[in-house]
Structure 1
Amino acid sequence: MNIYDADRHLIEPIGIWAQYVDEVIFKQFPIHLIDDAFERITVKNEQTMSVLPTYAIGPFPLLFHWGSALKIASSQRNALTMAQRKKAMTPTEQLKSMDASNIQCAAILPTFAMYIVNHSLIPSNVSLAYADAYNRWLKDYCGVNPQRLRAVGLISRHQPDTLLEQLTKVIDNGWTSITLRPEVISKRSLGHGDYASFWQACEQNNIAVVIHGGTNLHASTVGSDRFHSRFALHACSHPMEAQMAFVSLLESGVFESHPQLKFGFLEAGASWVPHWLWRLDNICFPEFPSLVDDHIKMLPSAYFKRQCWVTVELGEPCLREVINVIGHKKLLFGSDFPHPDHLHLVVLDIKQQLPELTAQEYVDVFENNARDFYDVAIDNNRARYLDPFGVNVAKTPFIDDEVYEGEFDGG
C-alpha cells in the first residue's frame, strides 16, 4: 500500500524569513532568537545545562506560556528528536523520511509559520507578509517533487478583506487546500460574517479547508485562560478547539450555505466525534429549534457526515463507534511528522495498532480518503520516480547555518 499522509509538517529554517519576507516588514518585526536564553541552569540532579534560546518575532516571544519549566524540559529532550526535525527542513530529506515509512504522498503543513501568522500581538500587515513569504517558500520546497509533496497554503485571518487575494494566490499555485487555525483570531471565529465571501470562493474553487490547532499559540486557545502547564494546555488545545470550530461553522450557517465545502479536522483524533455529534443532535439541537432553524436545517451529525473529515491517531480507541456515526470514508491518517509528541506513534504494524478496521477500511483510511479530501489524482509512476533534483535547489534556501533546534510540538 502507498500511504497518503494527510498531516505531515516541514520545519522552517530561521534563515528563510530574511530572504522571503518583505524587507521593510522584516526590519520592523524580524524573526530572531533571544540570546540571553542561552543561560546555564541547575537541574534536579545538580548538573548544569544550557537552556535553548527563545524564538521571537519582533519584541514578542513566539510561544505563549512557554515558561522556564517547559524550557528546561524541552532542552533536556532536544537531542532525542533533532534528527527527525532536521529531515523536515529540506524537501529531499523529507522525501527520504517518507520513503522509510512507505508514504507515497503527503499534505505538507507549517510548523513555526502557523504561530507567526496567527500571533495575536502582531499587526495585520505583518501577519499577511509572513503568510505570503511562507507560501512562496512552500512553493519552492514542494516544487522539488509536487506529486509527492502536496502544498497546503497558509492563510492570514488578521484582516478579512485580504482573504480573497490570498486565496487567489493559492489557486494560482495550483494548490487544492489551505490551512486555518480553529481559534478566534482578531476577534473573529471561523463562523464570523466577515468570512462569507471567502467561504463562497473556497467552495466554488473546490478548496479543502484544513483546520489544524496546536498548543502555546499567542491567542485565546481553549484552556490558556486557566492553565499554564504544558500538560493541561496540550490536553485541551487540539480536540476542544476542533469541537468548537465545528460548532462555529455549524451555527453560523457555513455548512448550510456551502454544502460542497470540505473541512478536515486534523491532529485532534477522532474519538471526540461520536460524543460531540450525539450531544449536538440530542441535547442542543432539539432544545430551542426556533433559535437555530435559520442556519441549521438538519441534524448536526448530517452536516459532519456530508462535509467533514477527521484524522485518526494510531492506537486510538472507539474507531468503530466513529465509523458507525460518520462512516469510514471520512477518516484520514496523519503522522504529524516530525513533531515530538507523535514520534512514538510509528508507522509500523499499522493493522495491529488499528485492529478495528476491516481490510477495505484500512485501504481507504490510509490511501483513498485523503485523495478524495485533497482532490488529488496521483500519477503513481511519476510520483515514485520523479527526480527530486529536478529544480535548482542550490538557489532555494531550505536550510541555513542559523537553525532553531529547540524541542517544539508545533501543533
Structure 2
Amino acid sequence: MKIFDCDRHVMEPLFIWEKYLDNKIYQQYPVHFKHHTHDNVDLPPTYYIGSEPILKHWHKAIQLETALRPQNSSARKLAMSGLGQLQSMDQDGVDKAFIFPTFTGYIVNHESLPAEVSCAYAQAYNRWILDYCMIDKSRLIPAAIVSRHDPKSLSQQVQLIAQQGFKLITIRPEPIHGYHLGDAAYFDFWQTCQQHNINIAFHGGTHLHGQTIGSDRFESRFSLHACSHALEAQVAFLSLLEGNVFELYPNIKFMFLEAGAAWVPYWLWRLDNICYPEFPALVKDKLPKKPSDYFKNNCYVSFESGEPCLEEVVKWIGRDKLLFGSDFPHPDHQDFSIEELTLGQSLSTPDIKRALQQNPLACVGGSFA
C-alpha cells in the first residue's frame, strides 16, 4: 500500500540562501554556522542569521545530548534534494507527500528580524522549494511560507504564492509580532487565501525566537517540546474561533500537524460544554455553531504512530478528517512502517487506510495510481 505523508520535511542546504536570496539582504543577514566543542566533543553546529542565533534555548546541555545520540545523517542528507526525498519516500512506501521546511520557519518568524528581511527569506525559500519539487510535482507537493512580520503585506504575498502555483501555506500557530491568528489584521490574508483556494497547514516547533507557549517559563528541552506542539495547536484553533475566521472564511481548510490528534476530543468537549454555553449572548454573534462543528467542517488533524484514543477523535470530527505525517527526517519521531500504522493503532484498519490515502486528497485532489 502506498501512502500520502502529510508532514515531510526538507533539510535546507546553506548554499540556497546565497543563490535564491537578494544579495543585499544576504550580505547584511547571512545564514551561517558556528562550530563549538565541549569536553573534547564536537557539538552540532549552531545556526545564525546575521549575529542572531536561529534557535532559542539551544543551550550546551541540549547540544551535547544531540551530539551523543545516534544520528540520522543519511536521512537528513536525502532530505536536502528532491531526488533524495523521492528515494526516501520509495524506501518508506510513500507515494505523495506535503513538503515542509525545517529551519526556514525559524528564520522567517524570528522576532529580531526586520519585516523586509523576514519576507525576503520567505520568498527565497518559496523559489527554492519549487525547484526542489520540480523533479516530480505529482509526488512532492510543497507548502509555501509567508512572513507575518507585517500583516499589511500578507495579501500581496499570497497573490504571488498563488501565481507560483502553490495550493498550501504553512504557518506557525503562535502569535507573531503581537498578532494572533484571529486578529483582524489578518482578515485580508484569510480572504486572499480563500479567493485563491489556498489552504493552511499549522506546524509548530520547539526553540523559536518568539512567543511559543512555555518559552517564558521553561528552558529544558523536555518541557519546551511538551508545550510547543499540542498546546499551541489547541490555542491556534481557539484563536481562529475567537477571530470568527471559520465563520467568515468557510472554504479554507486548516491542517493541524505534528501535535497528535488525541487533544481534539478533550478540547472540543471543553469548548462545547464548558465555555460555549456559559454566556451564550457573548458568543452568539461570532459563533452561531458549536466549536466542534467548525472543526468538523474546516479542520484536519494528523495522528502519531501508536497514539491512543483515535476512536474518540473519529467520533468527534469524523473519519474523513484524520491524516498521517511522518515528520521525516526529524529525530523526535521514530521510523514508521506501513504494517505498524495499519495494525498497531487504536483505530480500525479501514479508517487508518482512509487516513493514509483518501483523506489527504480532499486537500489537494487527485487519486492514487
Correspondence list, 1:37-186, <5 A: 37-39=35-37, 41-42=38-39, 48-77=40-69, 80-186=71-177
1:251-304, Cα deviation, whole Å (9 max, x unpaired): 110011111111000000000000000000011111112222221111100000
| Equivalence for 2:6 | 6
SS class of match (2:124)? helix
Match of 2:235 among 244, 256, 261: 244
2:273 and 2:162 map into 1 onto residues whose CA distance is 39
1:98-121, Cα deviation, whole Å (9 max, x unpaired): 011111100000001011000111
1:326 and 1:109 map into 2 onto residues whose CA distance is 25
Change (3 A) 1:19 1:187: same
Q: How far 1:346 moved relative to its partner?
A: 4.2
Correspondence list, 1:6-405, <5 A: 6-34=6-34, 37-39=35-37, 41-42=38-39, 48-77=40-69, 80-359=71-350, 361-373=351-363, 375-378=364-367, 380=369
SS class of match (1:7)? strand
TM-score by length of 1: 0.88
SS class of match (2:332)? helix
Q: Higher relative contact order at CA 8 Å, sep ≥6: structure 1 or structure 2?
A: 1
User: Match for 1:3: what amino acid?
Assistant: I
Mind listing any 5+ residue stretches in structure 1 that lack a counterpart? Answer: 43-47, 381-411
CA contact (8 A) 1:315 1:354 kept: yes
TM-score by length of 2: 0.97
Runs of 4+ in 1 over 6 A off after TM superposition: none
CA contact (8 A) 1:147 1:379 kept: no
1:74-112, Cα deviation, whole Å (9 max, x unpaired): 1112x5211111110011111011011111100000001
CA contact (8 A) 1:210 1:265 kept: yes
Q: How far 1:243 moved relative to its partner?
A: 0.3
2:225 and 2:183 map into 1 onto residues whose CA distance is 26
2:344 and 2:81 map into 1 onto residues whose CA distance is 30
Q: How far 1:379 moved relative to its partner?
A: 6.8
User: Match for 2:311: what amino acid?
Assistant: R
User: Match for 1:188: what amino acid?
Assistant: Y
Q: How far 1:38 moved relative to its partner?
A: 2.3
Q: How far 1:52 moved relative to its partner?
A: 2.3
Q: How far 1:347 moved relative to its partner?
A: 4.1
> C-alpha root-mean-square deviation of aligned residues, in Å?
1.2
User: Match for 1:69: what amino acid?
Assistant: A
